[in-house]
Amino acid sequence: MQGIHFDNTVFTIEDVAQRESLSYKVKVSDYGEAIDLLIEKLAKEVDTEQLSAIGHRIVHGGERFSEPCEIDQQVFDALHAIIPLAPEHLPNELQLVTELRNAFPGVKNIACFDTAFHGSLPDVARILPIPRKFASKGMRRYGFHGLAYENVLSQLEQLGLPRKSNVVMAHLGNGASLAAVRDGLSIDTSMGFSPTGGIPMSSRTGDIDPGIMSYLLNNERIEPVSLSNLINNESGLLGVSGVSSDMKKLLDVYDTDAMAAQAVDLFCYEVKKMIGAYAAVLDGVDALVFCGGIGEQAPKIRTKVCEGLEYLGLKLDRGLNDKNEQSIADKDAKIAVYVIRANESMAIAQNVKHIIQGNNA
C-alpha cells in the first residue's frame, strides 16, 4: 500500500508467480486503517486455511538479525527493543505483525530484514568516526534497501552477468541509496546508521554537515522531534525545490522553475559522486544498475547522472535509455548499464519459502 496519509493511496495485490497485479485507489487516513483494510482484503481474497506464512519487510535488524527468521515472541521483543534504531519504521512494522498474528493465529510471520544484505560490510565501511563506546550501543553503518539489492543481484545473474563482478547499484526512489557489490557481496553503501543518510532523497537530507544539527538545536532552538521531522520529511528534493518531493513533478517544471531544476541537479550530482567513489572502492566497475521508481522511469536522470563518467568507460545509448530498455549501454561502452525493476516482494517470498522448507525438512 502506497501513499498512506494522502488522498491518492494505492492498494496493490500482486501475484508474483503469475506476474500479475491489480492496483486501485483506496481511502485510509492512517496506518491503523491501512492494516484493517489489508486484513479485510486478505480474508476475502486468500484462502487463509491454505496460508502458511506471511512475509514482512522489516527495515532494521540491528546487530542481532542478519538472516530471515520466524517472528516468535522472543524475536518480537528483540525488535521492539531496537525501535530507537529505526523510530520512523519499526513501530508501524511491529504493529502490523501484532495485528496479523491476532487475525490469523495459525499463520507464521517471517521477518525479512532490509539491513541483512549489508552484513558483509568490511569493518572499514562499517565503523563510524565517533568514540568507540557508542559502537557497543549499536551505532554503526547498517545500510538499507537490502531486499531490493538482493533481488536485483539475482536478476543480474539470470541475465548472465558473472557473480564475480564489480557492480554499483543505484536504488533511486523516494528513499534512495547506492551499494558497491563485489563478487555478490555488499562492501559499501550510502545509507548508514539510518535510512536518512547518504544522498539527498525526496524529503530526507542525506548526509549533511553535523554542525548544522548543532546550529539548529542551539541557535534556532528547534526541538529534537521537530529536527527529526525537518531532516526526514521537509528536506531533500522538497526542501531545495520548495515545490515538491516528487521527481516527476520537478522534471515537468525543470525548464521553467530554477529551484526545481537546482533540486534535480543536486540529486544527480550526488548520485554521480557516489558512483565515482564506489568505482574507487571497487577498483573498477563492470556494471551499473539503476532501480527504484526514479531509476527505472526517468531517462533524463540517468543521462544527467552518467554525463561526465565517460572516463570510467561508461556511455549510454540514447535511444535505448529513452525507451527505458533493460540494457542501455552504448555498444562501445566498457561498463554494462542496466535498468531493472527491483522486486522486493519476490525477495521476501523466496526468503519465506526457504524458511518454511527448512522447518519442514
Residue 240 pLDDT: 98
Tell me if 61 is assigned to some domain: yes
Residue 149 pLDDT: 98
Tell me if 289 is assigned to some domain: yes
Q: Is the pLDDT of residue 45 over 90?
A: no
Region label for 210, one of left (φ > 0), alpha (ψ between -120 and 50) or beta (otherwise) = alpha
Helix (H) / strand (E) containing 95:
helix 90-103
CA distances from 8 to 13, 27, 28, 201, 344 (A): 16, 8, 9, 21, 22
Tell me 108's DSSP state: E
CA distances from 344 to 58, 88, 112, 299, 337 (A): 12, 20, 10, 22, 21
Q: Is the pLDDT of residue 355 over 80?
A: yes
* Alpha-carbon span 120 to 186, nearest angstrom: 6
User: Predicted confidence band at 1 (pLDDT cuts at 50, 70, 90)?
Assistant: low
pLDDT digits (tens, 9 = 90+) for 269-294: 999 999 999 999 999 999 999 999 99
Tell me if 174 is assigned to some domain: yes
Residue 84 pLDDT: 92
Residue 102 pLDDT: 93
- Do 116 and 242 lie in one domain? The reply is no
- Do 87 and 172 lie in one domain? The reply is no
- Do 110 and 177 lie in one domain? The reply is no
Residues 6+ apart with CB under 8 A from 90: 58, 59, 60, 79, 80, 82, 83
Q: Which of 354, 274, 307, 300 is nearest to 67 (CA)?
A: 354
User: Predicted confidence band at 178 (pLDDT cuts at 50, 70, 90)?
Assistant: very high
* Alpha-carbon span 210 to 197, nearest angstrom: 12
Tell me if 286 is assigned to some domain: yes
Tell me 338's DSSP state: E
Q: Which domain holds residue 41?
A: 10-141+345-360
CB 43 within 8 A of CB 100: no
What pTM was computed for the model?
A: 0.92
CATH number at residue 332: 3.30.420.40
88 or 3, higher pLDDT: 88
- Do 324 and 206 lie in one domain? The reply is yes
CB half-sphere exposure, 86, CA atoms < 13 A = 26
What cell numbers appear for 148 in the block? 531490493
- Do 339 and 352 lie in one domain? The reply is no
- Do 312 and 168 lie in one domain? The reply is yes
- Do 168 and 62 lie in one domain? The reply is no
Q: What 3-state class would DSSP assign to 245?
A: coil
- Do 353 and 339 lie in one domain? The reply is no
**For the ranges 33-47, 226-240, 319-333, which has the lowest average pLDDT?**
33-47
Q: Is the pLDDT of residue 150 over 80?
A: yes
* Alpha-carbon span 145 to 191, nearest angstrom: 9
- Residues tagged active-site: 114
- Do 201 and 273 lie in one domain? The reply is yes
Tell me if 3 is assigned to some domain: no
User: In angstroms, what is the C-alpha Rg of the chain?
Assistant: 21
| Domain total in the chain | 2
User: Predicted confidence band at 343 (pLDDT cuts at 50, 70, 90)?
Assistant: very high
User: Predicted confidence band at 327 (pLDDT cuts at 50, 70, 90)?
Assistant: very high
Q: Which of 110, 97, 108 is nearest to 55 (CA)?
A: 110
Tell me 324's DSSP state: T
